[in-house]
Amino acid sequence: MATMHTQNTARLMMSPAVLMLLVWMVVPLGMTLYFSFLRYNLLMPGMEHFTGFGNYEFFLSDPAFFEALANTLLLVGGVLLVTVVGGTFLAILINQPFWGQGIVRLLVIAPFFVMPTVSALVWKNMLMHPVNGLFAWIAHGFGLDPVDWLAVLPLFSITMIVAWGWLPFATLIILTALQSLDQEQQEAAEMDGAGIVSIFTYITLPHLSRALTVVVLIETIFLLSIFAEIYVTTSGGPGTASTNISFLIYAEALLKYDVGSAAAGGVVAIILANIVAIFLIRMIGKNLEA
Amino acid sequence: MGAITLQKVSKSFGDVTVIPGVDLEINDGEFVVFVGPSGCGKSTLLRLIAGLEDVTSGAIRINGTDATGMPPAKRGLAMVFQSYALYPHMSVYKNIAFPLKMAGQDQAAIKQKVESAASVLNLTDYLDRRPGQLSGGQRQRVAIGRAIVREPDAFLFDEPLSNLDASLRVNMRLEISELHQSLATTMIYVTHDQVEAMTMADKIVVLRAGNIEQVGSPLELYRNPANAFVAGFIGSPKMNLIEGPEAEKQSCTTLGVRPEHIAVSTDGGAWKGVVGVAEHLGSDTFLHVRVEGVGLMTVRAEGEFDLHHGQTIFLTPVPDKIYRFDKNGNAIR
The answer to whether the CB atoms of A184 and B82 lie below 8 A apart is yes
Mutate to test the interface with B, among A181, A192, A210, A289 (most CBs of B within 10 A): A192
pLDDT number for residue B76 = 87
Domain span including residue B279: 238-332
- Same-domain pairing of B195 and B278: no
Q: Which residues of chain B have a CB within 8 Å of the CB of A187? A: 52, 72, 79, 81, 85
β-pairing, B203-208 vs B31-35, is: parallel
Roughly how many angstroms between the first and final C-alpha of chain A, as a whole number? 28
The answer to whether the CB atoms of B77 and A191 lie below 8 A apart is yes
Q: What share of chain B is helix, strand, coil (3-state, %, to 5)?
A: 30, 35, 35
**Long-range CB contact pairs, B252-255, < 8 A, 24+:** B252/B324, B252/B325, B252/B326, B252/B332, B253/B325, B253/B326, B253/B327, B253/B329, B254/B228, B254/B324, B254/B325, B254/B329, B255/B322, B255/B323, B255/B324, B255/B325
From B179, B200, B230, the end of a domain falls on: B230
**pLDDT above 70: residue B14:** yes
Q: Side-chain half-sphere of A283: how many Cα atoms within 13 Å?
A: 11
Q: In this complex, is the C-beta atom of A202 within 8 Å of any C-beta atom belonging to chain B?
A: yes
In angstroms, what separates the C-alpha of B173 from chain A's closest C-alpha?
Answer: 22
> If you compute the radius of gyration of chain A from its CA atoms, what whole number of angstroms results?
24
Chain A, window 1-40: residues with a beta carbon less than 8 angstroms from a chain B beta carbon:
none
- Whole-number percent of chain B with pLDDT over 70: 100
Q: Is the dihedral of CA B36, B37, B43, B48 positive or negative?
A: negative
In B184-256, alpha helices (H) = 194-200, 218-223, 228-233, 245-249
Global pTM value: 0.78
- Same-domain pairing of B267 and B226: no
**pLDDT above 90: residue B252:** no
Mutate to test the interface with A, among B48, B70, B75, B81 (most CBs of A within 10 A): B81
- Same-domain pairing of B158 and B196: yes
- Same-domain pairing of B226 and B177: yes
- Same-domain pairing of B56 and B107: yes
β-pairing, B154-158 vs B254-257, is: unpaired
**pLDDT above 90: residue B309:** no
Domains, chain A: 53-288 (1.10.3720.10)
From B230, B264, B290, the end of a domain falls on: B230
- Same-domain pairing of B243 and B212: no
Q: What is this model's ipTM? A: 0.80
- Same-domain pairing of B222 and B256: no
- Same-domain pairing of B261 and B175: no
Question: What are the phi and psi torsion angles at A267 (to 5°)?
Answer: -65, -40
Chain B, window 74-133: residues with a beta carbon less than 8 angstroms from a chain A beta carbon:
77-79, 81-83, 85-90, 98-99, 102-103
Average pLDDT over residues B302-331: 84
Please, are residues B268 and B314 in contact by the beta-carbon 8 Å criterion? yes
Question: Residue A281 carries which side chain, given as an amino acid letter?
Answer: I
Nearest CA in chain B to A182: B85
Going residue by residue through chain A (290 aa), what tens digit of pLDDT does each one get?
Answer: 567 888 888 899 999 999 999 899 899 999 999 998 988 888 888 788 888 888 888 888 888 888 999 999 999 999 999 999 999 999 999 888 888 888 888 888 888 888 989 999 999 888 888 888 899 899 888 988 888 888 888 999 999 999 999 999 999 999 999 998 888 898 899 888 888 899 999 999 999 988 998 899 889 989 988 999 999 988 887 888 888 888 988 888 888 888 888 898 889 999 988 898 888 888 887 777 75
Q: Which of B79, B87, B103 sits opposite A203 (nearest CB)?
A: B87
- Same-domain pairing of B223 and B170: yes
From B230, B246, B274, the end of a domain falls on: B230
Number of domains in chain B: 2
Q: In this complex, is the C-beta atom of B261 within 8 Å of any C-beta atom belonging to chain A?
A: no
CATH number of the domain residue B166 falls in: 3.40.50.300
- Same-domain pairing of B141 and B41: yes
Q: What is the side-by-side strand order in the sheet with B77-80?
A: B77-80, B154-158, B186-191, B31-35, B203-208, B211-216
- Same-domain pairing of B171 and B295: no
CATH number of the domain residue B297 falls in: 2.40.50.140
- Same-domain pairing of B144 and B35: yes
